[in-house]
């Protein structure tokens, strides 16, 4: 199966159960020391909460390739509208996500991610790299969530499965379209050839950030970059919490410009493929005292056995120095699982 190879990457880098199982957020009244971070600087760098100049791209625009390439190059993140995914589907996925995370802790633990697994209920995979835990619980799906859904709702699992499988199909089509535009920007004469040289896989992550009694000393997700080609994020109820580290601006909040806008960010493998031209966005998630936030993140990239070779545009071929060596997806994910952000220095020329 297409996604099984992604799962294999995690089998070889197992985590301990203490780094997988979230605390029972419903049963605590204050932030325990295990989750208490030094004061978080959450002062916004822009008074325009909606759009601190983050590019907004209409996928029907005639110059969409240039717009997207420029956004990847200057920001590494952008928002897309007119993407063809209905508001109704977003609402359905959010409803099912809320249904899952509202279950008692003793129910959710039935589908906890195994120590060497990739799917199921658990904390973020970056957890072992930090001394404090995050105010977050997640549920990861690759293709069908049937086995897990049956354990949660033995007689009422069909709707959850149908909605999640439908959403993944839509996201995979959209991700492929975005990659076509981006590769067309990097190598205008070879976009179809380049993208056809890869087989792709995806993973859907449902995120829950419960209300936090002390949001100035807690983090939903600690600062990190995403590993694959790109991530498509839907922040439900138009809530904000995502921040990116922007050069010369510090932490900058990214809020959706509309209920159906999707936030797309460059991941590590696309950074390598672009020979460092596109930044892999360093980002984090804040939590709120009164709002329980949810988001849907779809991660998309080549399968494990794919070789990522930096692309150099034919017009720039003369005198361009390759910044990264060729690397297989499996090797890269293995290195990142052990070294996190130090990984780039290990494959840089």
Cite the active site residues: 293
d(CA 103, CA 204) in angstroms, rounded, equals 19
Tell me, letter by letter, the H, E, C secondary structure of the chain.
CCCHHHHHHHHCCCCCHHHCCCCCHHHCCCCCHHHCCCCCCCCCCCCCCCCCCCCEEECCCCCHHHHHHHHHHHCCEEEEECCCCCHHHHHHHHHHHHHHHCCCHHHHHHHECCCCCCCEEECCCCHHHCCCCCCCEEEEECCCCHHHHHHHCCCCCHHHHHHHHHHHHHHHHHHHHHHHHHHHHHCCCCHHHHHHCCCEEEEEEEEEECCCCCHHHCCCEEEECCCCCEEEEEEHHHCCCEEEEECCCEEEECCCCCCCCEEEEECHHHHHHCCCCCCCCCEEECCCCCCCEEEEEEEEEECCCCEECCCCCHHHCCCCCCCECCEEHHHHHHHHHHHHHHHHHHHEC
Structure tokens that stand for 268 in this block: 């590590």
Beta strand pairing call for 293-302 and 230-235 = antiparallel
- Work out the angle at residue 339's Cα, subtended by the Cα atoms of residues 280 and 305, and round it to the nearest 5 degrees: 70
């Amino acid at each position: 199966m297409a996604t099984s190879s992604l799962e294999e990457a995690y089998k070889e880098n197992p985590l301990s159960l203490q780094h997988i199982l979230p605390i029972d957020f419903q049963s605590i009244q204050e932030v325990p020391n295990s989750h208490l971070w030094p004061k978080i600087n959450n002062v916004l760098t822009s008074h325009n909460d909606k759009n601190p100049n983050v590019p907004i791209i209409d996928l029907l625009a005639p110059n969409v390739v240039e717009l997207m390439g420029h956004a990847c190059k200057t920001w590494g993140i952008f928002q897309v509208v007119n993407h063809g995914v209905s508001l109704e589907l977003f609402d359905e996925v959010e409803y099912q996500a809320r249904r899952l995370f509202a279950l008692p802790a003793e129910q959710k633990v039935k589908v906890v991610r195994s120590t060497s697994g990739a799917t199921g209920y658990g904390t973020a995979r970056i957890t072992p790299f930090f001394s404090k835990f995050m105010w977050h619980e997640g549920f990861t799906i690759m293709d069908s969530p049937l086995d897990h859904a049956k354990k949660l709702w033995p007689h009422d699992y069909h709707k959850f499965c149908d909605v999640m499988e439908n959403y993944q199909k839509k996201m995979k089509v959209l991700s492929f379209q975005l990659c076509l535009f981006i590769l067309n920007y990097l190598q205008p004469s070879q976009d179809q050839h380049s993208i056809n040289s890869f087989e792709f896989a995806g993973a859907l992550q449902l995120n829950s950030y419960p209300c936090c009694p002390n949001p100035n000393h807690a983090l939903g997700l600690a600062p990190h970059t995403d590993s694959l080609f790109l991530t498509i994020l839907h922040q439900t109820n138009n809530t904000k919490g995502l921040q990116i580290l922007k050069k010369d601006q510090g932490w900058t909040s990214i809020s959706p410009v509309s209920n159906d806008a999707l936030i797309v960010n460059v991941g590590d493998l696309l950074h390598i493929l672009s020979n460092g031209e596109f930044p892999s966005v360093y980002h984090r998630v804040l939590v709120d005292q009164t709002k329980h936030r949810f988001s849907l993140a779809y991660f998309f990239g080549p399968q494990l056995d794919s070789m990522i070779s930096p692309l150099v545009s034919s017009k720039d071929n003369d005198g361009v120095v390759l910044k990264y060596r060729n690397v297989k997806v499996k090797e890269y994910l293995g290195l990142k699982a052990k070294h996190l952000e130090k990984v780039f220095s290990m494959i840089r020329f």
